Amino acid sequence: MAAKDLTTREWINALIEPGYLLVWALRYYVKVNLETVFCKGQILAPLLHQSRVRDEAFGKFWVAFSTYLQANAPASPPPTQPPDQIIRSSDLIPPLLARASGTVLDVGPGTGTQMPLLRSPAIKAIYGAEPCHGLHAELRASATSQGLEDKYNILPCGVESADLIPALQRQGLLKTDASDVPSILETLSTTREGVFDTIVCVRVLCSVPDMHRTVQDLYNLLRPGGKMLVVEHVVNPWRTPKGSVIARAFQAFYGFMGWSWYLGNCCMNRDTTSALKHAADQDGGWESAELESWFESTPMPYVAGILTKRG
C-alpha cells in the first residue's frame, strides 16, 4: 500500500515541518533554563543537573505539543482509512490500536493522546511505561477523562530492562524469585511465558538508548500469540526508489542542529524495521510480521504494522 502521493508543495512542507518542531522544543529548553537560573536561583543546575532540566523542558514542550495535536485532531478518528486518504502519521494509529487486547504495555505514552483508542472492552489492563515524570499528571488526567482510571497503571520508568523489570516486579506481573535483571530476562527468553498480550510502540523506539536490546526485551515480554503494535518513524530509505536523498540530508541536518538533545533523545536515523524483524530470530521468526512503510520521500518516514509472536 502507499500513502496519498504528495504534491511538490506538500513535499516541501514535509521537509521543513520538523524544523518547526525543533524550534518549538528549543524555545522550551531555553525558557526552562532561564527559569531555573533566574527564578529558582539554581545557577549551576543547567551544568550540574542537565538531565533534570532537559526532562522538565521536554515535558513542558510535549504537553504543549500534545495539546496542539488534540485541538487539531478529528473529533472521532476513523478505525480504518483507505491508503490513499492517509495523509499524516496519526492516521496510521487508530486501525492498529483497535487490535489491542488482554494485558497491554503502552510504551512511552507521553500525555496519553492515544488514550481514546484504548477503550476496547477486550483490554483487561494497561501499563504505561513513561520515564518523564513531568507528563504523569497529564497522563493520569487522560486516563480519567476516558474512564480508564481503573484499567490504566502508570509505571514511572523507561522501557529499558534495568528500569522496566523492577517496575513490573513491583506490580506483581513477573512470577519469579530472581532478583537480578539478567536472570529474569534469561528466564523469560527460555520459558517464553511472557507477561503482555499486546505491546504498543508509537513513536518511542526512536528515543531508547539501545534500540536493538530494547526491542529484544519487549519481544521476550510478549506472551505466545501476543502482538506488538508499531507506528515508528525511521531513517529515510534513500538508497531505494521510494526514498529521497534530499530528505535523508534534511534528517542529518536536523540531527546536527540538536534534534536529539531538545526532543527527548529522539533519533531520526534508526533502522527500526530491521530491529523489529530480527527480534524473533531466537524462536525462528515471528508468526507474522505485517509491516508497511509510509511517507518514504520525507524526513519523517514511518513503519507501521503488527508483529505476532509464535504461539
The set of residues, in sequence order, having a beta carbon less than 8 Å from that of 127 and lying 6+ positions away, is 103, 104, 105, 106, 153, 155, 168, 171, 173, 196
Report the pLDDT value the prediction gives residue 73, as an integer from 0 to 100. 67
Least confident of 165-179, 230-244, 289-303: 165-179
Mean pLDDT of 228-250: 97
What band does 67 get if pLDDT is binned at 50, 70 and 90? Answer: confident
Q: Report the pLDDT value the prediction gives residue 188, as an integer from 0 to 100.
A: 81
Strand order through the sheet with 196-202:
152-155, 123-129, 102-107, 196-202, 222-233, 302-308, 288-294
Task: Retrieve residue 75's grid coordinates.
Answer: 473529533
- Please say whether the dihedral angle defined by the alpha carbons of residues 79, 82, 86 and 89, taken in this order, is positive or negative: positive
Q: What CA–CA distance (Å, rounded) separates 86 from 28?
A: 31
The residue ranking higher by pLDDT, 183 or 9, is 9
pLDDT for residue 179 is more than 90? no
Q: What is the mean pLDDT of residues 225-237?
A: 98
Cell of 95: 486501525
- The stretch 236-264 carries a mean pLDDT of 97
Name the CA radius of gyration of the chain, rounded: 20
Predicted confidence (pLDDT) per residue in 282-293, tens digit: 999 999 999 999
Beta strands 196-202; 123-129: pairing state: unpaired
**pLDDT tops 80 at residue 11:** yes
- pLDDT > 50? residue 1: no
pLDDT value at position 292? Answer: 96
Position 161 in a domain:
yes
Task: Assess contact for 55 and 265: CB atoms under 8 A.
Answer: no
Confidence band (pLDDT; 50, 70, 90) for 219?
A: very high
Q: Is residue 56 part of a domain?
A: no
Assigned domain for 26 exists? no
Count structural domains, the chain: 1
The enclosing domain of 105 has a CATH number of 3.40.50.150
pLDDT at 70: 75
pLDDT confidence of residue 178: 64
pLDDT for the residue 80: 60
Report angle CA 136, 96, 214 to the nearest 5 degrees: 60
222 confidence band (pLDDT: 50, 70, 90): very high
Name 292's bridge partners: 304
Task: Locate 43 and state its grid cell.
Answer: 545557577
| Lowest-pLDDT range of 46-50, 78-82, 98-102, 117-121 | 78-82
Mean pLDDT of the chain: 91
CB 226, CB 306: distance < 8 Å: no
| Residues of the domain holding 241 | 83-308
**Residue 9 in domain:** no
Does pTM top 0.95 for this prediction? no
Residue 128 has pLDDT above 90, yes or no: yes
CA distance 231 to 95: 11
Report whether pLDDT(156) > 70.
yes
Predicted confidence (pLDDT) at residue 192 exceeds the cutoff of 90: no
Q: 49 is written with which cell numbers?
A: 543537573
Nearest to 151, CA basis, from 175, 119, 110, 191: 119
Instruction: State how far the Cα of 137 lies from the Cα of 80, in Å rounded to an integer.
Output: 31
> Is 71 part of a structural domain of the chain?
no
Look at residue 253 and tell me whether its pLDDT is greater than 50: yes
Neighbour-count burial for 28-64, b at 16+ CB within 10 Å, e otherwise: bbeebbeebeeeeeeeebbeeeeeebbbbbbbbbbbe
Residue 22 C-alpha from the chain's centroid: 18
Nearest-5° angle of CA 296, CA 299, CA 301? Answer: 35
Amino acid at position 240, single letter: T
pLDDT at 15: 97
Collapsing DSSP to helix, strand or coil, 203 comes out as coil
Q: Is residue 132 part of a domain?
A: yes
Contact 195, 223 (CB under 8 A): yes
Label residue 42 by pLDDT band (50, 70, 90).
Answer: very high
- Closest among 50, 46, 27 to 36, alpha carbons compared: 46
Is 78 part of any domain? Answer: no
Residue 142 within a domain: yes
